[in-house]
């Protein structure tokens, strides 16, 4: 069984001495998974179990446990190597779209130039051809205006005047314009359960449903119902138990989250789970305009080139590069169309998705406001929950047995302490 990276990070953050409850509230995994993960990690990394008189278990890990695992498992080293290789490969993929855009524009422009030059040479003896040549060249300088030195200087000057800053280069900005920069809420579930674990921990293992509701989704009308069914996943994950007061108020306590390896301060968390809105692109406005402009130039150039190549005779007469471009023209046109269509579709998709995110954030915020302005009934319910709140801290002195030393030696030492 490969060690869980989240559990490993939690062990390091908590000082290498942890309980199941410490880790579960830190990363939001369910109790059974944390218990199994800590046992596996202790077995693989040379960790030790310390048992208190109460029967509670504390896990003690060496500070170099990652080095121990790395030397033991070639799979971990392989993953680390692949992570480094993939970061390079993904960067090359990102910049490839910008390279393809520039290459496409250059290829289309050069091909058009060759066709027009060849056509003009054939029409030198025809005085009427000058009018035609004038019409053909009408569009030609427009294809190059983005590449002129003056445009580059003006673009940089405008950025300095606006004070814009961007860590992206142009090639990275093209990828961002096309596909965005990933899901801003990719770790939403991790954040959700971390926050719920923190709420339970801050309240010493006993809460009411209204304290958890601002971090949940899709509870709808259940929030107003007498039976708080939406709490079931929380109870399952953290091995909790419901308790009903004499007047029918229901609270929830989590015994295994009340046991800690050390005294810890309250964790600071937001009042409700906030989802981040999707951004169209992290590139600067200037980079977005440049990408869109070049995409437009590429698309218009592809249409003009298609008009010149439509009968196929020119490519057959000139051959060479023109014949090659004739063969891949479908790809050039598809790339030019997709370069403009993908961001446009993505813009409307993001707008629709952000509307839903705004609605969910509003609903969770409203539940947080109800909790902040708790009425007499809710305050009484919270007070009842505090009756089950407790915190048990197991220090090293409380340990009766530990796997660090021989069992017989520990029994002898414990007997001597008892005789005293």
Q: What is the pTM of this model?
A: 0.70
Answer whether residue 52 shows pLDDT above 80.
no
- Whole-angstrom distance, CA of residue 170 vs CA of residue 96: 11
Do β-strands 241-244 and 250-253 pair in parallel, antiparallel, or remain unpaired? antiparallel
CA-to-CA separations, 108 to 139, 151, 301, 303, in angstroms, rounded:
13, 20, 6, 10
**E strand or H helix that includes residue 250:** strand 250-253
- Report the C-alpha gap between 112 and 106 in whole angstroms: 10
Mean pLDDT throughout 346-352? 96
pLDDT confidence of residue 262:
81
What tens digit of pLDDT does each residue of 194-236 get?
Answer: 999 999 999 999 999 999 999 998 776 555 555 688 888 899 8
Distance CA 276, CA 361 (A): 9
Dihedral sign computed on CA atoms, order 298, 300, 305, 310: positive
SS3 129: helix
Q: Is the pLDDT of residue 8 over 70?
A: yes
* Nearest-angstrom CA–CA distance, 193 and 141: 58
Residue 412 has pLDDT above 80, yes or no: no
Per residue, what are the HEC states of 44-94? HHCCEEEEECCCCEEEECCCCHHHHHHHHCHHHHHHHHHHHHHHHHHHHHH
Checking if the pLDDT of 420 tops 70, the result is: no
Q: If you ran DSSP here, which 8-state letter would residue 148 be given?
A: S
Give the per-residue pLDDT at 178.
Answer: 94
Q: How confident is the model over 301-321, as a mean pLDDT? A: 85
Using alpha carbons, select from 315, 301, 290, 298 the residue that is nearest to residue 139.
Answer: 301
What are φ and ψ of residue 319, in 5° steps? Answer: 70, -160
How far apart CA 326 and CA 302 sit, in angstroms, is 11
């Amino acid at each position: 069984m490969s060690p869980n990276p989240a559990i490993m990070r939690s062990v390091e953050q908590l000082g290498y001495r942890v309980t199941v409850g410490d880790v579960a509230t830190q990363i939001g995994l369910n109790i059974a998974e944390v218990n199994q993960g800590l046992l596996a990690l202790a077995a693989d990394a040379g960790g030790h179990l310390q048992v208190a008189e109460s029967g509670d278990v504390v896990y003690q890990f060496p500070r170099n446990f990652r080095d121990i695992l790395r030397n033991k498992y070639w799979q971990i080293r392989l993953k680390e190597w692949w992570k480094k290789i993939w970061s390079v490969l993904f960067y090359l993929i990102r910049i490839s779209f910008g390279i393809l855009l520039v290459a496409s524009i250059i290829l289309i422009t050069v091909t058009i130039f060759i066709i027009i030059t060849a056509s003009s040479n054939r029409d030198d003896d025809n005085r009427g051809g000058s009018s035609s040549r004038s019409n053909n060249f009408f569009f030609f300088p427009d294809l190059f205006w983005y590449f002129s030195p003056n445009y580059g200087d003006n673009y940089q000057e405008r950025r300095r005047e606006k004070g814009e800053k961007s860590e992206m280069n142009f090639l990275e900005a093209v990828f961002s314009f096309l596909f965005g920069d990933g899901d801003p809420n990719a770790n939403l579930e991790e954040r959700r359960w971390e926050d719920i674990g923190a709420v339970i921990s801050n309240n010493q293992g006993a809460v009411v449903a209204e304290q958890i509701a601002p971090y949940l989704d899709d509870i709808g009308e259940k929030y107003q119902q007498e039976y708080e069914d939406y709490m079931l996943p929380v109870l399952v994950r953290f091995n909790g138990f419901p308790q009903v007061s004499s007047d029918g108020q229901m609270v929830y306590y989590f015994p295994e989250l009340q046991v800690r390896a050390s005294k810890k301060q309250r964790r600071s968390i937001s009042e409700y789970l906030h989802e981040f809105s999707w951004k169209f692109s992290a590139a600067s406005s200037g980079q977005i305009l440049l990408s869109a402009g070049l995409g437009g130039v590429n698309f218009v150039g592809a249409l003009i080139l298609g008009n010149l190549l439509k009968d196929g005779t020119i490519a057959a007469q000139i051959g060479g590069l023109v014949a090659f471009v004739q063969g891949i023209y479908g790809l050039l046109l598809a790339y030019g169309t997709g370069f403009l269509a993908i961001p446009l579709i993505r813009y409307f998709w993001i707008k629709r998705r952000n509307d839903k995110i705004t609605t969910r954030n509003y609903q969770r915020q409203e539940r947080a406001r109800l909790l902040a302005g708790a009425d007499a009934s809710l305050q009484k319910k919270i007070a009842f929950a505090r009756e089950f709140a407790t915190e048990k801290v197991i220090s090293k002195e409380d340990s009766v047995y530990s796997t660090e030393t021989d069992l017989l030696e520990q029994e002898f030492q414990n007997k001597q302490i008892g005789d005293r």
